[in-house]
A and B are shown apart, each in its own frame.
Chain A
Amino acid sequence: MAENVKPRVRVPGNATAGEEITIKTLISHTMESGQRKDGDGNAIPRSIINRFTCAFNGEIVIDVTLEPAISTNPYFEFQAIVPETGTFEFTWYDDDGDVYTDSKDITVG
């Protein structure tokens, strides 16, 4: 597992039905591009988050492919419309096969 990887998510706790809410996510990750060389001239192998998804009650809200040019600690901010009370599931997929997840509940009332 890559070191010091920690997902962070901010979702409002409450919303009204049909309201457009703003979601912010950030994951600490080195996002090593594979293009760099170490002090001895050897290529540092690529190690990035290559996919990020957000789903609400199982339905995909956003599905992102990440490329090596994306810098360290990738941050996403996006909108979602919440029709009902439920749970946002966030998933980050690492090159090394690791999967990091986080989830947030939201109450519609």
Chain B
Amino acid sequence: MKSLLKTGVAAVAIFAASAVHADEEANLVINEEIEITVRTDAPAHTENLSTIYSGWVFRSDETQALQMDDFENPGMIFVDDAIEAWNAVEGTEGNSCASCHGDPESMAGVRAVYPKWNDAAEEVRTMAMQVNGCRTEQMGAEEWKYDGGDMLNMEALLASVSRGLPIDVAIDGPAQSMWEAGRDLYYTRTGQLDLSCANCHEDNYGNNIRADHLSQGQINGFPTYRLKNAKLNGVQSRFRGCIRDTRAETYAVGSEEFIALELYVASRGNGLSVEGPSVRN
């Protein structure tokens, strides 16, 4: 198995080296209708970047094209599944998502402001936590697994109705301490490779790390359909993959640390458009 894997890696590397490079000047319009901001001035709190770019900019022409049309975007299949879940009554209270919220379109703008401070719960909540809050408190239903299939489908639906709207995550007020914790994590080197998030995504975006074209690590496109595993991927699972690749022991998906990091990284994308479900490699 091991030698098989190695051959696989070598083949992938050769392929990638000859692959066409990304069109970094391209603009993204979905369904010839929704204009997406893929590059804009960095927000003031992102001191070390002058321009922020969506990860879409760094992908190959073919991958970019998949996201321009909902029919071609494999992530939209999962959105269809979530629409069924949206209307399905579950739990002891006899409610579905639709019972309180009506159409999914009424949630336009929600994805853009998460993670967000929740006054009643006195915590910063990611969208997944808020969905589970709804499920347990309003529906009397079981929680969904963090970054599990049902949850990612629902997050994809919520993202899809906000596409084109600018990310606008609040970093002040009660969320500030969490945001600062996230910023500390972002700049902390981890693992045997001694890498922080910033080493790749701030110092070296646009460069190749072996066969990978490094993006700025923006999360405006999550949940993301990845061609490598042919499914939707959650942002905290993606953090986990990155940190694992520094050969570090990772934090758990849904942990305080990752919530803080998600808040911080999301805020670095303030001004980009919500894009999810996006398509990446």
Contact B77 A10 (CB under 8 A): no
- CB interface residues, B 64-94, toward A, < 8 Å: 71-72, 74, 77, 80-81
* B230–A10 CB distance below 8 A: no
Q: Judging by beta carbons under 8 Å apart, are A8 and B71 in contact?
A: yes
Considering the complex, give the chain B residue whose CB is closest to the CB of A25. Answer: B71
**Considering only CB atoms, which chain B residue lies closest to A9 in the complex?**
B71
* Set of chain B residues within 8 Å of A8, measured between Cβ atoms: 71
- The A interface, classified by DSSP as helix, strand, loop or mixed, is strand
- A interface residues, how many (CB within 8 angstroms): 10
| A11-54, CB < 8 A from B | 24, 26, 28
Q: A71-B230, A72-B230 are in contact. Are A10 and B80 (CB under 8 A)?
A: no
CB-defined contacts of A72 to chain B, threshold 8 Å: 230
Is B81 a contact of A4 with CB atoms below 8 Å? yes
Tell me the bound Cα distance from A73 to B81 in angstroms. Answer: 13
A73 near B71 with CB under 8 A, answer no
B71 touches A28 (CB 8 A): no
A6 and B80 in contact, given A71-B230, A72-B230 (Cβ under 8 angstroms): yes
A8 to B77, CA, bound (A): 10
Residue of B71, B72, B74, B80 most packed against chain A (CB within 10 A): B71
Interface of B is mostly: loop
B77 cross-chain contacts in A, Cβ below 8 A:
26, 28, 73
Closest to B80 in A: A6
A24 CB contacts on chain B under 8 angstroms: 71-72
Chain B residue with Cβ nearest A26: B71
A73 touches B80 (CB 8 A): no
A1 to chain B, nearest CB (A): 15
Chain B residue at smallest Cβ distance from A77: B72
Taking the nearest CB of chain A, how far is it from the CB of B161, in angstroms?
19
Write the nearest CB–CB distance from B251 to chain A, whole angstroms.
Answer: 26
Report the nearest B residue to A6, measured CB to CB.
B80
| Complex Cα gap A28–B71 (Å) | 12
In the complex, how many angstroms separate the beta carbon of A24 from the nearest chain B beta carbon?
Answer: 6
A residues less than 8 Å from B74 (CB atoms): 73
Instruction: Give the residue name and chain of the B residue nearest to A73 (CB).
Output: B77
Q: How far is the CA of A63 from the CA of B150 in the complex (A)?
A: 35
- Across-interface contacts of A73 in B (CB, < 8 A): 74, 77
Closest-by-CB residue of A relative to B77 is A28
Bound CA–CA A24/B72 (angstroms): 9
- Complex Cα distance, B74 from A91, in Å, reads 21
Contacts of B80 in A (CB 8 A): 6, 28
Using CB atoms, name the residue of chain A closest to B81: A4
Residues of A within 8 A of B81 (CB): 4
Q: How far is the CA of A4 from the CA of B88 in the complex (A)?
A: 14
Closest-by-CB residue of A relative to B71 is: A10
Once the chains are docked, how many angstroms separate the CA of A79 from the CA of B74?
21
CB A11 to nearest CB in B, in angstroms, measures 11
CB distance from A81 to the nearest CB of B (A): 22
Nearest B residue to A10 via CB reads B71
- Give every chain B residue within 8 A of A10 (Cβ-Cβ): 71
Q: How far is the CB of B88 from chain A (nearest CB, A)?
A: 13
The 7 residue pairs across chains A and B that have the minimum distance between CB atoms: A28-B77, A10-B71, A24-B71, A73-B77, A4-B81, A6-B80, A72-B230
13 A-B pairs (CB sep. < 8 Å): A4-B81, A6-B80, A8-B71, A10-B71, A24-B71, A26-B71, A26-B77, A28-B77, A28-B80, A71-B230, A72-B230, A73-B74, A73-B77
Additional pairs, 9, CB under 8 Å, beyond known A8-B71, A24-B71, A28-B77? A4-B81, A10-B71, A24-B72, A26-B71, A26-B77, A28-B80, A71-B230, A72-B230, A73-B74
